[in-house]
Structure 1
Amino acid sequence: MLFWIIAAEIAFWIVIISGLYSRYILKRNRLSLFFFILTPVIDFALLVLTAADLKSGAPASFAHGLAAVYIGVSIAFGKSMIAWADRKFQSRILQKPLQHRELFGRAKAVYEMKMWGRHLIAYLIGCLLLGAMILYVGIGEKTFPLLRVLSGWTLVLLIDFLISFSYVIFPKRESKTDNCPSK
């Protein structure tokens, strides 16, 4: 099962890079759109493979739980991951200057809370998938690895909330040295 998760991650980045290459190098926007549309297909394929593995009688494992995490994260963060890859592609391959604006104060707090909101969406999607797997396999000892994934992810979500919310209480301030012209 772990092999399929790694294969899905590799396939995700291959289709993203292919989409960016098609868009910027080949100047074929429809082809690039085709590649970008393949990203949810990869998630669906991983979901089908996970279900098929469980149906074949494989015991529920950490890898099955990790597949649910992967799918949740991919759906919730997919668009922002593609945007990040797009910026990096333009910067590194096309040699365009990277437009990076560091956030401070309220803007940084809002950004961090939005990112935590995406994490929460990923978590909810993953919980639905984990719950479906638990119901499918049957509640009991066989599903303990799936519950371990869920409890670990719950802890990560809470820690992420505390870190993200800390920017509301203690806003990141621009340092005085950032404003000084270099000599």
Structure 2
Amino acid sequence: MIVTLIVICEVGFWVLLAAGLSLRYLARMPRLGAAVLLCEPLLEVVLLVVTAVDLKNGAAPDWKHGLAAVYIGFTVGYGHYTISRIDARFQHRFAGGPPPVLPPKSGPARARHERRLWLRTVVAATVAYALLQGAIWYVGDGGGDTSSLAGWQGAALKAALIHGLIALAYTLWPGKGPVDAGSRKP
């Protein structure tokens, strides 16, 4: 049931995003579009509540509950970033907006970009870790084996560490920045 709900939340995310942006730019109803986009976090609240109820009703904590926590963490860390990037593309494509700003390919600007993304990953991992720890405490000692949830905590920390190493590599070896159009050699 939890996996099905995660899939429903993911599909719901994209449906609400498409509906909100369509209302905002195609139907020219920006307030209604914004209201639809503000419904996005409700999906995660529903997932959190259903997961907690599932655990409270005696379900053995397993990988599905861990996946739900990591999904919620990812949404908290990257949800706004994802929506704003897609919003810029949608506005450009359907409403005559400016072209979306692409991430830099190399140089110090790329290193800054990677560090900002890493901070989002840290937020996602922290939220997932906290939710998983809350689930471990919620289930308690007599509620079953919580090693699967602890394993997901380790996975969240590893993801943040690996992404941190990638951001560090871009910082230490940024590569050459973009070449100025006026200084290109023939």
Q: What TM-score, normalized by structure 2, do the two folds share? A: 0.87
1:108 aligned residue: 110
In structure 1, the gaps of 5 or more residues are: none
Q: What percent identity do the matched residue pairs reach?
A: 33
Q: Secondary structure at the match of 1:142?
A: coil
Q: Does 1:147 align with 2:155?
A: no
Contact 2:103 2:113 in 1 (8 A): no
Q: Secondary structure at the match of 2:27?
A: coil
Q: Secondary structure at the match of 1:59?
A: coil
2:165 aligned residue: 162
Indicate how the Cα distance of structure 1 residues 115 and 179 shifts in structure 2: closer, same or farther if over 3 A, else same: farther
In structure 2, the gaps of 5 or more residues are: none
1:99 aligned residue: 100
| Letter paired with 1:62 | W
Indicate how the Cα distance of structure 1 residues 25 and 175 shifts in structure 2: closer, same or farther if over 3 A, else same: closer
Report Cα offsets for 1:13-69 as digits up to 9, x if no partner: 111111000000111111111111101111111100110111111111111011111
| Letter paired with 1:54 | L
- Give the whole-Å Cα distance in 1 for the aligned partners of 2:64 and 2:183: 50
Q: Which runs of 4+ in 1 moved over 4 A?
A: 91-97, 178-181
Report Cα offsets for 1:126-156 as digits up to 9, x if no partner: 1110000000112486101111111122222
Instruction: Please provide the CA RMSD for this pair.
Output: 2.4
- Give the whole-Å Cα distance in 1 for the aligned partners of 2:8 and 2:130: 23
Q: Secondary structure at the match of 2:59?
A: coil
1:18 aligned residue: 19
Report Cα offsets for 1:91-113 as digits up to 9, x if no partner: 45557673344523221111111
Indicate how the Cα distance of structure 1 residues 52 and 40 shifts in structure 2: closer, same or farther if over 3 A, else same: same
Q: What TM-score, normalized by structure 1, do the two folds share? A: 0.89
| Letter paired with 1:22 | L
1:180 deviates by 9.5
- Give the whole-Å Cα distance in 1 for the aligned partners of 2:16 and 2:103: 29
How many residue pairs were aligned? 182
Segment drifting more, 148-157 vs 53-62: 148-157
Contact 1:108 1:172 in 2 (8 A): no
